[in-house]
Chains A and B, each alone.
Chain A
Amino acid sequence: AQKITQTQPGMFVQEKEAVTLDCTYDTSDQSYGLFWYKQPSSGEMIFLIYQGSYDEQNATEGRYSLNFQKARKSANLVISASQLGDSAMYFCAMREGATSNSGYALNFGKGTSLLVTP
């Protein structure tokens, strides 16, 4: 079963607007971590933001914030004041905790392609 679901294959946003990229997850662990990565056309994976399952506050990193709703199992990425350089693929990922046998590998969603237009 898919552990990370990103329902938006592609999104458009105008420069300077805010955009929300959706992510829902599925786990029975109490301890887990949620990540967002950005992948520009050059291919490198750039870490953006992290939210631990026990963190009470939503994570923020500059223009990025993670809207964490634990009961709904959602971890949406909000990018404020979009810039042309934000055009990229965005991946939501989860690292499960003590019950995982995957050495803390990440489960990735299929990604959302974001295009920022002038």
Chain B
Amino acid sequence: DVKVTQSSRYLVKRTGEKVFLECVQDMDHENMFWYRQDPGLGLRLIYFSYDVKMKEKGDIPEGYSVSREKKERFSLILESASTNQTSMYLCASSLLSEAGYEQYFGPGTRLTVT
């Protein structure tokens, strides 16, 4: 059974803290993605990676960085958390091909920054 796991379902952090959100997939997928979901805005792409140590900015990368040291793991880093980063964060993975169409999502991390 395919699986994408995220390190926490719920997280509460203080303004200015460094926050790590971890995502692991067991499907040997090349592509991994971090999305942010806010009410009324749908899902927006923060960063993606198509290979180990490779990363590309998505639509809203400001205030975030990522790390992909191993193929199965993709980390999202909030260098200095701010209240406007309170959101649901969703990780996804997929094959690196047009034929590999489906993205598999993790359960999400609901982050609150106070």
Binding site for B on A (CB under 8 A): 4, 9, 31, 33, 35, 37, 42-45, 47, 50, 52, 91, 93, 95, 97-98, 101-111
Contacts and interface: CB of A to CB of B under 8 A. Distances in A.
A108 B43 CA distance: 6
Contact of A103 (B31, B43, B108): B31
Contact of B102 (A50, A102, A103): A50
Interface of B: 31, 33, 35, 40-45, 48-50, 56, 58, 88, 90, 92, 94, 96-98, 100-105, 107-108, 110
B88 A43 contact: yes
A104 B45 contact: no
B107 A43 contact: yes
B41 A110 contact: yes
Nearest to A6: B42
Contact of A106 (B96, B97, B100, B103): B103
B10 to A, nearest CB: 10
A45 B48 contact: no
Contacts of B40: 9, 110
5 contacts: A50-B101, A50-B102, A91-B42, A102-B45, A103-B33
Given A43-B108, A108-B43, A110-B41, A103 B101 contact: no
Contacts of A108: 35, 42-44
A105 B58 contact: yes
A105 B101 contact: no
A50 B43 CA distance: 18
A98 B99 CA distance: 12
A43 B35 CA distance: 13
Given A45-B90, A102-B58, A105-B33, A91 B102 contact: no
Interface centre among B48, B50, B101, B104 (most CB of A within 10 A): B101
